Structure 1
Amino acid sequence: MPKKATELSKSVHASLRSATKPVAPSPATRTPPKRTKPTQAELAQLAPIPEVLRPHLDILFVGINPGVVSGRKQLHFGNPQNFFWKGLYQSSLIPQNIAPEDGHKLWTNWNMSIVNLVQRTTPSTSDLSRLEMRDAVPDLCQKISEYKPKVVCFVGIGIYEIFAALTKPTPGLQPMVYDLSTSDDRQPPLRSLAPNETLNSNEQPQFAYLFVMPSTSGRTTTYQNPEKLMYFRQLKHIRDCVTASPPRPIDYSTLADLGPPTL
């Protein structure tokens, strides 16, 4: 066979081998690994997320219970899709944009902390029964009464619905306050406020304001993140008022300017 024909034959065979060789998908086109669904045994082994409390917190945040990502990481609002930490920063409630792994700074640097109504980790909040949530209310009341935060913020409308035994409460600043002077924690000791009423500087140490915002979970689509951010901004105004020296009355016109109607 002539030399040129031999070289051409080799070239053709090389091209065929190259064409039939499997090509690895590029990183951009690879299918992400599927999430592994936790077994009941794994969920049962997940410890409650640690809670760190001290007297007279500026804000005590109340979540409903840990999701699987948070339970595995042992971090509050540990899922990166959750808007909680972004909302704190974008509203200027905290001066740094922190990850869930740095959540301890909320307590060490900014006098705020987080607890859960129910300690048990579940794939979804729908896995909690109303009875289980109601049974957890006295323990939450005990924490509020003992540590006397200035503001209690419920991160989820359904949590406050269970806590206050209300049907479809309106998010925002609530028309009632928590009486911190009571020692009966079997049910929340709530006192109603008149429209646009605010606590004076003498009353504020005796009561905690109650604030409700939509759940910050990425699964909550009724409220989009820009609207959730409005509630964080309202909460910042309330925090700034109660931590001023001396404490300032809450300005309801400012709350109205910052976000959805409250009270």
Structure 2
Amino acid sequence: MSGVNFKEMLQQYAHEESSASTATVGPMRVLRPRARPTSMTTNSKEKNTRSDHSAEKPKSAPITTKSSKKRKAPSKYAPPSKYQHLSPLTDILAPDLIAVFVGTNPGIRTAAQGHAYAHPSNQFWKLLHSSGCTDERLRPDQDVELPARYLLGNTNIVERPTKDAAELSKAEMSDGAPVLEDKCREWQPECVCIVGKGIWEAVFRHRHGKNPSKAEFHWGWQDEKENIGRIADIGEDGYQGAKVFVTTSTSGLAASLKPAEKEAIWKPFGDWCKERRVARNWPPAQPHGQAQDLSEG
């Protein structure tokens, strides 16, 4: 190998190997990546944004409940001029009745119709029947039949009509107590049935200068010393006053007691009324089936 450099020989050999390899290998196939579908070419930022929106739930409409509705403002004192176009309710009274019901005052519907407890929501006539005070459920326009058929009457502690009792003043309620005393002295019923705690509080306040305490108040029959209309100057054989039975209000606005609780309080009074009518043999037999007229003294 004279005259031939070893390094040159090595380079020549490498060149020959490279040429041989190129000769034996066919054309190279280039693999290009397939095009992705359009939905898959979204970049990561767009993908995250879409994901965030898809996770959001549609906002539902606000739920409206009864408690969220605006409540009516409570009633307050109303002067007599507000309802001066309405007439007071006529008392239904007669001599020697077994009981007289004492309400607060006529409501607007009652005053307009001229019959006691005329508002459809008032439970007076229903409780009168369910307790046994009457043997059938009367309509408001049958209130005038109470004395002749059942020896019962009706009056109020305040005469003037209002929407509800809140439109009366405490002074009006208390001032009605001596008027009730006078009515009892005149007609001398066996009993007065106070239809509502507030009425009894007014009578008690007039007599004792304060409302009854929790210990002093109870439903039902009251102590004999609380009789109304006693005539003191005619001796023990004279009129000893009307016994007092305190029962619940029948107004549809009075919801502090459940219907079953009201009926339980009314029931003893209804039983007593039936017993007193039996004791008096009432109604007496009439030639033509007509009840006795008590409208004349």
Tell me which interval the TM-score lies in, with the shorter structure as reference length.
0.5 to 0.7
In the TM superposition, what are the counterparts of 1:84-233 in structure 2 within 5 Å?
84-165=124-205, 166-168=211-213, 169-176=217-224, 177-178=226-227, 180-182=229-231, 206-233=240-267
Q: Could you say what secondary structure the match of 2:96 adopts?
A: coil
Supply the distance in 2 between the matched residues of 1:62 and 1:80 (Cα, whole angstroms). Answer: 19
Once the two structures are overlaid, the 10-residue window that deviates more, 174-183 or 206-215, is 174-183
Structure 2 counterpart of 1:114, one-letter code: N
Cα pair 2:193 2:246 within 8 Å, conserved: yes
Structure 2 counterpart of 1:118, one-letter code: V
Structure 2 counterpart of 1:238, one-letter code: W
Query: Displacement, 1:124?
Result: 1.4
CA 1:181–1:141 in 2, change beyond 3 Å: closer, same or farther?
A: closer
Percent identity of paired positions between Structure 1 and Structure 2? 28
Q: Compare CA radii of gyration and give the structure with the larger one.
A: 2
Name which of 92, 95, 101 aligns with 1:52.
92
CA 1:129–1:51 in 2, change beyond 3 Å: closer, same or farther?
A: same
Supply the distance in 1 between the matched residues of 2:145 and 2:279 (Cα, whole angstroms). Answer: 23
Deviations 1:31-87 (A, max 9, x none): xxxxxxx99766111111111211111110000001111111111111111111001
Query: Displacement, 1:106?
Result: 1.3
Cα pair 2:193 2:245 within 8 Å, conserved: yes
1:68 corresponds in structure 2 to 108
Query: Displacement, 1:98?
Result: 1.4
Cα pair 1:86 1:97 within 8 Å, conserved: yes
Q: Could you say what secondary structure the match of 2:227 adopts?
A: strand
Query: Displacement, 1:179?
Result: 6.0
Q: Normalising by structure 1, what TM-score?
A: 0.66
Cα pair 2:221 2:246 within 8 Å, conserved: yes
Unaligned 5+ segments in structure 2 are 1-77, 206-210, 282-297
- When the two chains are superposed, the root-mean-square deviation of aligned CA atoms in Å is 2.8
Supply the distance in 2 between the matched residues of 1:51 and 1:181 (Cα, whole angstroms). Answer: 20
Query: Displacement, 1:92?
Result: 1.9
1:234 aligns with 2:268: yes
Unaligned 5+ segments in structure 1 are 1-37, 185-201, 248-263
Q: Could you say what secondary structure the match of 2:244 adopts?
A: strand
Higher fraction of strand: 1
Number of residues paired by the alignment? 194
Cα pair 1:59 1:113 within 8 Å, conserved: yes
Cα pair 1:150 1:242 within 8 Å, conserved: no
Structure 2 counterpart of 1:76, one-letter code: A
Once the two structures are overlaid, the 10-residue window that deviates more, 112-121 or 162-171, is 162-171
Supply the distance in 2 between the matched residues of 1:42 and 1:90 (Cα, whole angstroms). Answer: 36
Supply the distance in 2 between the matched residues of 1:204 and 1:88 (Cα, whole angstroms). Answer: 30
Query: Displacement, 1:245?
Result: 3.5
Cα pair 2:133 2:274 within 8 Å, conserved: no
Query: Displacement, 1:160?
Result: 0.7
Q: Could you say what secondary structure the match of 1:210 adopts?
A: strand
Higher fraction of helix: 2
Once the two structures are overlaid, the 10-residue window that deviates more, 233-242 or 136-145, is 233-242
Structure 2 counterpart of 1:57, one-letter code: L
Q: Could you say what secondary structure the match of 1:104 adopts?
A: helix
Supply the distance in 2 between the matched residues of 1:222 and 1:182 (Cα, whole angstroms). Answer: 37
